[in-house]
Every structure is written in structure tokens, then in C-alpha cells.
Amino acid sequence: MEHKIALLPGDGIGPEIVNEAVKVLDATAQKHGHRFDYTQALVGAAAIDATGDPYPAATHEICEKADAILFGAIGDPRYDNDPTARVRPEQGLLRMRKALGLFANLRPVQIFEPLIDRSPLRREVVEGTDFLCLRELTGGIYFGEHTREGDTARDVCTYTRPEVERIVRMAFELAAKRRKLLTLVDKANVLETSRLWRETAQQIAPEFPEVTIEYMFVDNAAMQIVTRPARFDVMVTENMFGDILTDEASVIGGSLGMLPSASVGERHALFEPIHGSYPQAASKNIANPMATILSAAMMLDHLGLPAEAADIRRAVGDALVAGVVTEDLVEKNGRAASTSEVGSYICSKI
């Protein structure tokens, strides 16, 4: 079986971690008799440097034609430290999401047993944590009107019922395949957009009688994530709340370098680690590639290759048990493996 994969390494450690994910994908393809046809494209600061545009038309065309997109990271200190910059790498990410219709970001939050004592939370708090966060990705305050008049600034949050309905319905469908508990996070006691979210969910709920839905204010959800994370199954929320809560949830597992994600729409799907470009580690061969490799596993699930995805996850688990890990995960007095060594070890276990 052949699949066309768009590779967008991006900035910072992006090229290194994507390279390791490709090694693992190729090992999987060789074992199972598949072929992945890769086409690389520019995005972020790398694209600005080459074309002046963080998401060039040529990149969009490659993504449009691909069966799936594997993405590294976007971000560069040159732009982070320049508040006057008119073109920024992150603009490319927002445009890409909008242009490809990637309306739902899926982040699994799961504890790997070898890392459980690295969590900032106590073992008895995090044990059994396994939930999925769905964040709406192309609407809300990030895509609303942003204005400033003198000493007054305004950011407008807008949602339409169809925007809310499509991601809430996806959340119900995913919950129905898991433990059948859906948590909708909002601020319906204050915000009209949140009341629209809650109303829409209430209208959809009768279609999924097997799923229990609960409604939770965002401040309570933030508290529950750090006090009772194992209580959650599937969580769905709007763009800004999701941005904050998923970053909070990401540290539960002990390292940002372990969390994959997917951004999906009706026609396209993009898979990426959540940790960002980590420019301090760029080109040093020290970054943890596991989140990108696990993102590749999510991509294989999306492509209808669950056995192949399971092989990758099992091999990552083997690396953790064996202690073949980068410096962010190495035990005291242990030896940190390089980015490429971790990738090669995982390949050897497939």
C-alpha cells in the first residue's frame, strides 16, 4: 500500500525530529510491505527566509495533494524578540489550519508507566490517566477581529453553530468508542459563545444515548486536570480554552517531548508534536523525537493502519523501559542518548 506524505520539518528542532519519525515510518513500511512517498515543503521561519511567506502557495499545494501531513515545529527567536515584525512564523501555522480546514486538534494525554514518577503530580494522582482533548482550531478569539484605538484594545470571539456542531459531534463519536464520558468545557455563566456551545451539545446529545455528557466551567476543568486527571475520558472545548488546558495537561506525563497531536478536518489531517521548535537545542542532536514518532503513529491510525501504529507505540515503550532516552528523560547518573540514537533504537524494535 502506498501513501503520499507531506513533510513540513519547519524550524528549530523540527528537521531533526521529523527525520527520526521518517526513519521509524520506513522501518514500519518495510516490515508491513507498505511504501510512503514523501514530499518536503517549507513552513514557518524557514519559509520566510526562503520566500518571505511563512506558508507559501507551493507548500499549500503539496499539503492539498497529500494523504497526510507530518509537521515538525514553527518558531524562531528572531521573531519572538521583535514585537514590530509584520510577518511571523506563527502566521503560517494559523493560515495552514484555516486553508486546510483543520478544525479539530486532538491531544491524547496518557501516562507511560516508566515515566510515572517523573510527573510533577504524585503517582496516586496521575495513575490511570488516559484522556483525549479536542480543541476547536479555526474559530474563536484567535481568528476574530483584533483592534486597538489609543489605550483601548479589543479581541472579538465569534462562533457559529456549524463550527461548534462539527467538533462536538466528533467528540461524541470518539467518546462512544472509548469510555463513553464526554466533558464539554466552557464559561457559560459569563460568555454568550459558551452558551452557544452548551446549547449545541445539548441538541446533539440525544443522538448518542450511550455517552454521558457533563458540562464544566473552564476554571474548574483547570483544577480537575491537576487534581483528578484520571476522571476524564474525552474533553472538548473552544480554541483559547483548549490552547491553555492542553498545555496544562501536557506536563502530566513528565515531559513535553512525549506528547503527540493531530489536527484534522473533513479532507486533510496534520500530525505534530506539541512541544514547539525548542531553538536552544536545534542542530545539537539532543531533542526528544518520541512525540513526533508517536504523532507518526497517530498518522498511521488515520490512514487505516492500526497494527502498524501499534508497532510504533510498542517500540517507543520498549525504548522507555530500556532507558534509551534523551536528556529530558534520562535518570540521574544515566546516559542520555542522542536524538538519532533514540530513533534508531525504536527502529530496531519494530
Do the strands 152-155 and 212-217 form a parallel or antiparallel pair, or are they unpaired? unpaired
Active site residues: 142, 187, 219, 243, 247
User: In this structure, is residue 220 part of a structural domain?
Assistant: yes
Measure CA 142 to chain center. 17
User: Partners of 153 in the beta sheet?
Assistant: 148
Indicate if 85 and 189 belong to the same structural domain: no
Measure CA 130 to chain center. 15
User: In this structure, is residue 112 part of a structural domain?
Assistant: no
User: Partners of 185 in the beta sheet?
Assistant: 216, 237
E strands, the chain, in order? 2-10, 35-40, 68-73, 104-110, 130-136, 146-149, 152-155, 181-186, 212-217, 234-237, 260-264, 269-273
The letter for the amino acid at 78 is: R
Contact of 186 with 235, CB cutoff 8 Å? no
Q: What is the pLDDT of residue 208?
A: 98
Indicate if 52 and 175 belong to the same structural domain: no
SS3 content of the chain, % helix, strand, coil (to 5): 50, 20, 30
Q: Where are the alpha helices (DSSP H) in 149-217?
A: 161-177, 192-204
**What is the C-alpha R_g of the chain?**
20
Indicate if 264 and 243 belong to the same structural domain: no
Residue 27 sits in a domain of what CATH number?
3.40.718.10
- At 307, list the grid cell: 497494527
Q: What is the pLDDT of residue 59?
A: 98
The number of folded domains in the chain is 2
Indicate if 89 and 22 belong to the same structural domain: yes
User: In this structure, is residue 192 part of a structural domain?
Assistant: yes
Final residue before a domain boundary, out of 208, 229, 253 = 253
Indicate if 140 and 233 belong to the same structural domain: yes
Residue among 137, 4, 15 at smallest CA distance from 72: 15
Final residue before a domain boundary, out of 253, 288, 320 = 253
Indicate if 162 and 268 belong to the same structural domain: no
Residue among 144, 162, 161, 163 at smallest CA distance from 153: 144
Q: What is the pLDDT of residue 256?
A: 81
User: In this structure, is residue 110 part of a structural domain?
Assistant: no
Residue 23 belongs to domain spanning: 1-105+255-350
Final residue before a domain boundary, out of 253, 282, 310 = 253
- Other residues' Cβ atoms within 10 Å of the Cβ of residue 235: 29
The letter for the amino acid at 22 is: V
CA distance 118 to 86: 40
**What DSSP state is assigned to residue 56?**
-
Q: What is the pLDDT of residue 100?
A: 96
pTM: 0.90
User: In this structure, is residue 13 part of a structural domain?
Assistant: yes
Instruction: Give the sheet arrangement for strand 212-217, strand by strand.
Output: 35-40, 2-10, 68-73, 269-273, 260-264, 104-110, 130-136, 234-237, 181-186, 212-217
Indicate if 192 and 80 belong to the same structural domain: no
User: In this structure, is residue 115 part of a structural domain?
Assistant: no
Residue among 16, 19, 20 at smallest CA distance from 350: 20
Indicate if 248 and 260 belong to the same structural domain: no
Indicate if 137 and 185 belong to the same structural domain: yes
Indicate if 248 and 267 belong to the same structural domain: no
Indicate if 101 and 84 belong to the same structural domain: yes
Indicate if 262 and 332 belong to the same structural domain: yes
User: In this structure, is residue 113 part of a structural domain?
Assistant: no
pLDDT tens, N- to C-terminus, the chain (350 residues):
899 999 999 999 999 999 999 999 999 999 999 999 999 999 999 999 999 999 999 999 999 999 999 999 999 999 877 778 889 999 999 899 999 999 999 999 998 989 999 899 999 999 999 999 999 999 999 999 999 999 999 999 999 999 999 999 999 999 999 999 999 999 999 999 999 999 999 999 999 999 999 999 999 999 999 999 999 999 999 999 999 999 899 889 888 889 999 999 999 999 999 888 999 999 999 999 999 999 999 999 999 999 999 999 999 999 999 999 999 999 888 899 999 999 999 999 99
User: In this structure, is residue 186 part of a structural domain?
Assistant: yes
Residues 157, 161, 166, 169, CA torsion sign: positive
Residue among 309, 320, 308 at smallest CA distance from 345: 320
Q: Which residue has the cell 510491505?
A: 33
